[in-house]
Amino acid sequence: MSWWARRSARTRLAIVLIAAQATVVVCLAVIIAFAQARIVYSQLDQQLDDDIENAEQLLERAPEGGLRWRAGQRADGHAEPEADRSIEVFGADGNLLYRSRTALAVDLGSPPSVPEHMRNGPASRAFPGDGHLRVLSGGCAVNGLPVVIRAARSDKLVRDQLALLGGSITAALVAMVLMATLTGYAIAGRALAPLAKMAERAKTITAEKLSERLPVENPRDELGRLAIVMNEAFARLERSFEQMRRFTADASHELRTPLTAIRTVGEVALREGVDAAASREVIGSMLEETDRLARLVDSLLTLSRADAGRVKLNPEPTDLAELAREVVGHLGVLAEEKRQTIAVESQGPVPVLVDRLVLRQAVINVVDNAIKYGPEAGPIRVVVESKPQGAVLAVVDRGPGIAVEHRARVFDRFYRVDASRSREDGGAGLGLAIARWAVEANGGCLELESKPGEGSTFRIVLPRRPPA
């Protein structure tokens, strides 16, 4: 793991903040220093330009040859330049015609030839002894004689000014970085504080305390949104745990009922002693309960395998109308026992691509319910048709119907509208839960339409199989 990755989020955030602030400050300092240097050097260069112009006007040709300052220009009789500057004048062929007394003891060599009215430079020149000069040459004419005047001034003052500015900027920079370090670390700490609180709270959330939620300090910032999303995840987890707990409790209860019945029947028979005919009856009722138990265990197994995602679907081209006829043929005996008429209505094959066995279970459960809850001698219709929304298998009965408040819940596990009646019919409230899973696993949906007192229609809607 890199050094960076090993640092805490707070340190990393603080480093980024400090680096960003320092970069901005350094850039600003560099810009200010350059701007200031430009200003002071252009002032110095202007002064050198003035020096050249003055010299051009105040020098004249001496009768004995060479150049001299015009007399009477200054009170002391010397129109010589002041001590901090020097003037040199060169002829067209580069020979020195004049050098001021104040000229610094440095040989700057011959100047470049510069056309009249033009300037060359300016340039900074260093000379031994830590000295620095600013030099400017200009092409001029003294009494018609073309010359090159070279003016030089020490730029010590300018350098001192810039050094002072540089020192101040560096000191300010160090102070700012120090401040940025302190504030950056504090800001990073503050920004991440809700995260630490969330972590503390998250530690207390266990399977037993899933109702706890993370604190949401500001729902509009990133950490607030993270807390909201995590709270939603905890809510889902809580619901799943609750469903699981309820499922386990309901399943245990449902398993107990037939077991208790078997035990009671057995105990009574043992205690009271029974003749051959009565013992047949006892054994018959025990087998009936065992059957119920086996069906229940089968249903529970189907659901738990479905929950674990362990049911591997094997889709195959299937005719929904034929599947309906097969199921009706299989359950016809039960309908006959109640003198019900049960018929499949279809206009022809309705092709679907489904796992036949899994879907068959759904159709069986829905048709079985229509028989169980439909009235004696009532009609049951199984209508299979191809509709724009898909392949539809509707089971229509004339039973008691299902009131609005129960409609969504009848698909829940172990939910029964009338528990005692349903149990009499052998139902544990798992049939529709399994049917819904089986239909949805095949890409469809199971809908319910019902008018209390008139009957119910359970509709399995599946994607139609595209023509080959």
422 binds ligand ADP (CB under 6 A): yes
| φ/ψ of residue 111, rounded to 5 | -80, 160
| φ/ψ of residue 231, rounded to 5 | -65, -40
Nearer to ligand ADP, 138 or 399 (CB): 399
Could you check whether the bond before residue 349 is cis, i.e. omega within 30 degrees of 0?
A: no
Nearer to ligand ADP, 375 or 463 (CB): 375
Supply the minimum distance, in Å, between the C-beta of residue 261 and ligand ADP: 17
Supply the minimum distance, in Å, between the C-beta of residue 411 and ligand ADP: 7
Among 140, 114, 124, which residue's Cα sits nearest to residue 55?
Answer: 140
Nearer to ligand ADP, 139 or 444 (CB): 444
Compute the residue count for the chain.
468
* Burial class of residue 38 (count of CB atoms within 10 Å of its CB; 0-12, 13-18, 19+): exposed
98 binds ligand ADP (CB under 6 A): no
CA distance 267 to 278: 14
254 binds ligand ADP (CB under 6 A): no
Kind and range of the H or E run holding 103:
none
Q: For the chain, how big is the Rg over CA atoms in Å?
A: 52
Nearer to ligand ADP, 250 or 319 (CB): 250
First to last CA, the chain: 56
Answer left, alpha or beta for residue 142, where phi above 0 means left and psi between -120 and 50 means alpha.
beta
Among 385, 322, 351, 387, which residue's Cα sits nearest to residue 466?
Answer: 351
Of the residues 323, 432, 439, 446, which one makes contact with ligand ADP according to CB under 6 A:
432
369 binds ligand ADP (CB under 6 A): yes
303 binds ligand ADP (CB under 6 A): no
CA distance 343 to 349: 16
Nearer to ligand ADP, 234 or 415 (CB): 415
Nearer to ligand ADP, 184 or 431 (CB): 431
Size of the site for ligand ADP (CB under 6 A): 22
Nearer to ligand ADP, 98 or 373 (CB): 373
What is the torsional sign of CA 438, 400, 320, 330? Answer: positive
373 binds ligand ADP (CB under 6 A): yes
Supply the minimum distance, in Å, between the C-beta of residue 419 and ligand ADP: 7
402 binds ligand ADP (CB under 6 A): yes
For residue 157, CA distances in Å to 8, 161, 339, 410, 419 come to 50, 6, 120, 96, 104
Candidate segments 50-58, 75-83, 217-225, 369-377, binder of ligand ADP by CB under 6 A: 369-377
Candidate segments 70-78, 102-110, 328-336, 393-401, binder of ligand ADP by CB under 6 A: 393-401
427 binds ligand ADP (CB under 6 A): yes
CA distance 239 to 254: 22
Q: Which of residues 309-368 bind ligand ADP (CB under 6 A)?
A: 365
| φ/ψ of residue 46, rounded to 5 | -65, -40
Of the residues 88, 429, 444, 446, which one makes contact with ligand ADP according to CB under 6 A:
429
Find how far residue 372's CA is from the centre of its chain: 52
302 binds ligand ADP (CB under 6 A): no
Of the residues 399, 437, 438, 446, which one makes contact with ligand ADP according to CB under 6 A:
399
Supply the minimum distance, in Å, between the C-beta of residue 423 and ligand ADP: 7
Candidate segments 34-42, 195-203, 312-320, 415-423, binder of ligand ADP by CB under 6 A: 415-423
370 binds ligand ADP (CB under 6 A): yes
Nearer to ligand ADP, 13 or 438 (CB): 438
Q: Residue 366 in contact with residue 333, Cβ under 8 Å?
A: no
Of the residues 400, 446, 459, 461, which one makes contact with ligand ADP according to CB under 6 A:
400
Of the residues 48, 351, 397, 459, which one makes contact with ligand ADP according to CB under 6 A:
397
Supply the minimum distance, in Å, between the C-beta of residue 343 and ligand ADP: 16
Q: CB within 8 A of 405, min separation 6: which ones?
A: none
Of the residues 418, 424, 440, 447, which one makes contact with ligand ADP according to CB under 6 A:
418
CA distance 235 to 212: 9
Structure tokens at 130: 């830590």
CA distance 148 to 98: 11
410 binds ligand ADP (CB under 6 A): yes
CA distance 58 to 74: 11
460 binds ligand ADP (CB under 6 A): no
Interface residues with ligand ADP (CB under 6 A) are 365, 369-370, 373, 397, 399-400, 402, 410, 415-418, 422, 427-433, 456
